[in-house]
Amino acid sequence: MNQLTVLRRVFYILGITSLLSACNETDNLVLKSPDGKIQLTVTENDNTISYTVNKENAAMILPSKLGFILEHEDSLNHFVIKGTERSSLDETWEQPWGESRYVRNHYNELKVLLQETDGKRKLNVIFRLFNDGIGYRYEFPQQESMDSLVIMSEETEFRMSGTHKAWWIPASDPYYECIATFSPINELDTVRTPLTMETAEGKYLTIHEANLTDYPKMNLTVKDSATLCASLVPWSNGVAAYIKAPFVTPWRTIVIGDKPGDLVTSYLMLNLNEPSKIKDTSWIKPGKYMGIWWEMHLGKGTWYYGPKHSATTANTKKYIDFASENGISGVLVEGWNVGWEGNWMKHGDSLDFTKPYPDFDIKAITDYAREKGVELIGHHETAAATRNYENQLDKAFAFYQQYGVHVVKTGYVNRLMDFKEAHDGQYGVRHYRKVIETAAKYQIAIDNHEPVMPTGIERTWPNLMTQEGVRGQEHNAWSPDGGNPPEHTTVIPFTRGLAGPMDFTFGTFNFANEAYPGTRVNTTLCKQLALFVVIYSPLQMASDLPENYKGIKAFDFIKDVPTDWDKTYVVDAKIGDYSVFARKDRNSSDWYVGCITDENARELDIPLSFLETEVKYIAQIYADSDDAEWKTNPTSFKYEEKTVTASDTLHVKLATSGGCAIRFIKQ
């Protein structure tokens, strides 16, 4: 059974309603979610189209306007409603990899057919209501009066029902590598999505987007204290987007949850993307990897060729040996190719993606890896010199393909692409898609660093396996602020994590850093283990040096934990304080639990009701010792085994910035 296997599908079209030629400000259209709890109302008032969203009669989105500003200050926001189309879908599809093997796609849809008041141009708005939220997009149909358009801005609004508190990062960082601020939304400037909010009533909302294709990313600005407005990332000339009809924009998404975990287990964003365009996905394989990477961050080696060069044949074979001995499927090597000399960020066009340094014998390395049952993971740091990269793209992927490389990590370390365009403007979005589609032709999966924020494209192109776009573990090695604070990983599963897999690169066991004494990994060892469950990626890195794992019992958990899941549950969470995640292995009966906390020690009760009933499990528990403390004693842990059932509750104690990682083996 593959990803496109449809297990259950019901589809029906209710058809076009009668033309609403006599629309006035009392006319409205209503759409309800399949369970009837969420209601959308579309209203035309003084030729302005707006929408509202309620859940169980409580306002979620107050009347919010729709529309565009085109070039020459041409407004596309005064319409009459000419008709509607309604449809519904209920299907279940299988992911080739993911947090949940099967995804139900169940929605009701309303397409509102609009025409400008002067009769010249047409625009449709498509709304889909799911049981956990809403998606809507604009559709520019083919028409005589509108072929190509230059969009300067979107007039899309999200008028909230109050000044909710939000976790946000500023739009000024091109890499999304910021620590979240928690504040009322009236204090926001221009911020990234996903934007997660908590209402005064205890509800949770996340605004983001789905299926970002040939269009700029949407940021959010605030006006009138509680109205969030779309802010499209522009080209360098100020234009937001160049489009040709027919055209559809990305979906604007609003996920609504009663608790934080509801946001994590919503698959609304994935469902708003198209099914896989890759028919045979058997070559796309989740797994764990190590890498010649962390040692450079610690100042022990260099990316560039010289006396301390890390990417040598001998060093790579050392990593391959350790990976093979411990069941780790991949070894990443950075700094293997010509072009890292000097100020490579200013001269990215010197990077050559098919010419290794003299001390890196790629054929000998890949032959050796194959004998050991390990694969080389390739690396393309582009310095955001996208023209140089695209000129080499086919040749570069063909080069890796001939050596059996099926995963490539790409990087774009520069604030602007080609020193001109934003990563997440239309220019960057087009480039990233070209890379993904080209890689698929050569059966290569992508781990994209310095990306555009994910929007579920991995459903359509499942070779886009994971991305960075988060302040990850590398900041713990050299960041002047001392590294990621303890609460950071209790926030990002409910913000950046809602956009898709994160290549955070945890798994560090050695907490000393001679190169940058003021920085370190700000967790306990057991929290590093628990992150393999809490933070999702189908490719997970064991980030530390091989010698730091040898002889440590805790490394068994990293060897055992899978990266592909059958089911996911958020057992308990308070954003910014703690999280408890439970996931079932896709390829066995085992379950895994990860618990993490912020700077505060805490005790938690974990009901095991997610386990299969009337079955015994052996729980392998890796927990902070009583004397563990992230600043002074981070490596202290204890291991125990006990027999448990679904009716049991485990009591765990977490040290400051601590964690607990548990494997449940079915008996």
Q: Count Cβ neighbours within 10 Å for each residue of 57-87 and write b for 16 or more, e otherwise.
A: eeebbbebbbbbbbeeeeebbebbbbbbbbb
C-alpha distances out from residue 146 to 47, 116, 136, 211, 377, Å: 20, 12, 22, 23, 47
Residue 140 contacts by C-beta under 8 Å, 6 or more apart in sequence?
A: 123, 124, 146, 149, 243, 245, 246, 247, 248
**Catalytic option among 85, 474, 603, 629:** 474
Question: Is 44 known to be catalytic?
Answer: no
What is the four-CA torsion angle of 613, 619, 624, 625, rounded to 10 degrees? Answer: 120
Three-state secondary structure call for residue 323: helix
Residue 24 contacts by C-beta under 8 Å, 6 or more apart in sequence?
A: none
What is the four-CA torsion angle of 311, 314, 317, 321, rounded to 10 degrees? Answer: -130
Closest CA to 117 of 151, 75, 86, 148: 75
Residue 30 tokens read as 């209503």
Closest CA to 222 of 188, 198, 196: 188
Indicate the DSSP class of residue 19: P
The DSSP line for 391-412 is: HHHHHHHHHHHHTT--EEEEE-
Give the whole-angstrom CA distance, residue 346 versus residue 529: 38
Q: How far apart are the first and last CA of the chain?
A: 27
Three-state secondary structure call for residue 331: strand
Report H helices in 299-425.
Answer: 313-325, 362-371, 386-402
Q: Count Cβ neighbours within 10 Å for each residue of 398-417 and write b for 16 or more, e otherwise.
A: ebbbebebbbbbbbbebebb
Q: What are phi and psi of 12, to 5 degrees?
A: -150, 150
For the beta carbon of residue 230, count every other beta carbon within 10 angstroms.
21
Given a contact cutoff of 8 angstroms between Cβ atoms, the answer to whether 51 and 72 are in contact is no
Closest CA to 290 of 340, 326, 335, 247: 326
Q: Which residue has the tokens 């695209």?
A: 390
Strands (E), 17-101: 28-32, 38-45, 48-55, 58-65, 68-70, 74-76, 79-94
Residue 504 tokens read as 């955070």
| Residues marked as catalytic | 474
